[in-house]
Amino acid sequence: MRSVAIVGLGWFGLPLARDLRNLGWEVKGSKRTQEGVEEMRLWRLEAYQLQLDPEINADPDDLIALLSVDSLVVNIPPSDYFFDAESYTQGIENLVNEALLCGVKHIIFISSTSVLPMQTGQFDEETQPPFSPLYEIEQMLFTLQDIDVDIIRFGGLIGNDRHPVHSMSGRTYQQGNSPVNLVHLEDCSRAVQSLLETQGGHRLYHLVAPQHPTRVDYYQAMAEKFAEKAPHFECSEEDLQRIIVADKICRELDFVYQYPNPYTM
């Protein structure tokens, strides 16, 4: 049976784990607290406590059990763990080194399109990002030898129980004419499944829905849909026209977005 460990069973990691288990994978995962571990076990998931400080804080036997898998998905956003970039990058590097010692053959790192330039333009996987902790980790991973490495950069995440319009209600924002770069949780899970099933070499993909309505049009429509007070946007002809191009995964892995239109997310 194919096996995978997901470090970070959060809003994305837990649904991913359940999807993979339903597909026949042996799935393990980690949470930062023992309470979180117990919650995961209620979902009948094999879970272990692990925290990066940036040293690995975990029971040695638990760490070996967690990382005794074919593939590892690293799903740890910087803001969830560390206050400084150096600690974050060191923590991820420590985790990767332990995975290599345990014989992991495939690493998938969940990154973000926030690494790309915040300026007008269309940005694909060939774009050179400015320096950031996430980009530093990406570069570190691509130096690894004799192991398959995939990096996937998600756009803004939307799911059935998570939509940014709820926290935007009634507030005022700039850049109303800028396009959105969003992706649905289910497409994210399916994309990671595709990477796990077609591993090979070092690969980088973006994952963003191909349609990009303006922020003002989109969030005002979503406010009406969810019965929220509409956010106010200041619009200008100078607003950034920043579009993340994310069709490489479609061309190379025959991936099809189930939610190409943000209005249906």
In this predicted model, what pLDDT tens digit does every residue of 4-53 receive, in sequence order?
A: 999 999 999 999 999 999 999 999 999 999 999 999 999 999 999 999 98
Going along 43-105, which residue ranges are E strands?
A: 46-49, 51-52, 56-57, 71-74
The rounded distance, in Å, linking the Cα atoms of 150 and 10 is 20
Q: How confident is the model at residue 81 (pLDDT cuts 50, 70, 90)?
A: low
Q: Measuring CA to CA, which residue among 166, 112, 102, 105 is closest to residue 134?
A: 112
Structure tokens at 187: 């497409």
Q: Which of 24-28, 131-135, 243-247 has the lowest mean pLDDT?
A: 131-135
What's the pTM? Answer: 0.95
Is the model's pLDDT at 83 over the cut of 70? Answer: no
The per-residue b/e assignment along 31-58, b for 16 or more CB within 10 angstroms, e otherwise, is bbeeebbeebeeeebbbbbbebebeeeb
263 vs 81, higher pLDDT: 263
The rounded distance, in Å, linking the Cα atoms of 75 and 64 is 18
The rounded distance, in Å, linking the Cα atoms of 260 and 258 is 6
CA distances from 143 to 70, 86, 100 (A): 20, 18, 13
What is the SS3 assignment for 257? coil
Q: Which domains does the chain have, with CATH numbers?
A: 3-159+181-210+242-258 (3.40.50.720)
In this predicted model, what pLDDT tens digit does every residue of 228-238 receive, in sequence order?
A: 999 999 999 99
CA distances from 201 to 32, 39, 126 (A): 30, 35, 17
Q: Measuring CA to CA, which residue among 232, 257, 244, 245 is closest to residue 175?
A: 232
Contacts of 102 by beta carbon, 8 Å cutoff, 6+ apart: 64, 67, 68, 69
Is the model's pLDDT at 80 over the cut of 80? Answer: no
Is the model's pLDDT at 203 over the cut of 60? Answer: yes
